[in-house]
Amino acid sequence: MPAGLFPFMKLQGIFPALTTCFDESGEIHKEKLAVNIRKLNQIALAGYTVCGSTGESPLMSFNEKLDVLSCVAGLASNGKTLIAGVGQESVRETVRLVNMASEIGYHVGLALTPYYYKSQAQCPDTQKLYFRAIADESKLPILIYNMPRVTGYDVPVDVVAELSHHPNIIGMKDSSGNVEKLKETAGAVKAGFQILSGSGMTFCDALYAGAVGAILAIANAVPYACVTVWEAFRMRQEEAARDWQQRLLSGAKLVPGVHGIPGLKHLMDIKGYYGGRPRLPLMPSPPEARAEIERAFDGINS
């Protein structure tokens, strides 16, 4: 389907940024991934984001990403929107992955801002060229992925506003946690451009600032709590929404921010999901980190 002719894709609600399950030898553990997805299918989640940063995608081969994308697509229940993490440093490889994700059954491609060659990547013109070139060739609508903690680059408001006019760039995942900037961006983009928060600490505030939903790492382990914030927001119960965000706050500061993917996987293990080991060179959380995580999430149902 030519770019710009996609039916409108509504991205409201909570999307877990799925972890990837590995066995003790570091191989993808499809059986455990299936267990997680079947549990998550029972919850009122909008869909799943697969092979993003939470999924340890930088540590996976191209074919492994396709394998995980296929596995989740085959397990997701009807009505779940599937977002594929497709960002590669080159336009060519990003287009190849997003178009293969389209064939697998995904609905949206999520592309991280390129960052490796910083002297060029951290330039607005480079970012605009990258996303336009992808969107021109992609068989899926594209989300910009802004994650300055990893990339060292925070996409300027005017760049997002300009890219929002491309007919095949439909929104952005903003993991900066900067709610004021998100609000400014929401006011600057083309009508219909959808912003999703990627911050477990500020996603409630982001919803009131103009976000339409959230893609969250902590939703792997405490999806009910995340959905509760969304439902309270949707029902215009602001006090309840902010109360639940406050309950999540101390834990969301730790996972994945302080203790990373290993900490998130430990949280999943204690909340009844399969977290398991991260892939090397990431190491399991030490005992003191595990204890801190357990205290922070005590009393929060999975």
Task: Report the amino acid identity of residue 165.
Answer: H
Residues 6+ apart with CB under 8 A from 233: 204, 207, 208, 241
E-only strand ranges, 128-244: 142-146, 169-174, 194-197, 213-216
Q: Which helix (H) or strand (E) holds 96?
A: helix 91-104
Q: Based on the residue annotation, tell me whether 139 is a catalytic residue of this protein.
A: no
Q: Which of 173, 181, 265, 271 is catalytic?
A: 173
Around 49, how many Cα atoms within 13 Å sit in the side-chain half-sphere? 34
Cα(81)–Cα(129) distance, integer angstroms: 27
**Which region, left, alpha or beta, applies to residue 21 given φ > 0 means left and ψ of -120 to 50 means alpha?**
beta
Catalytic machinery residues: 173
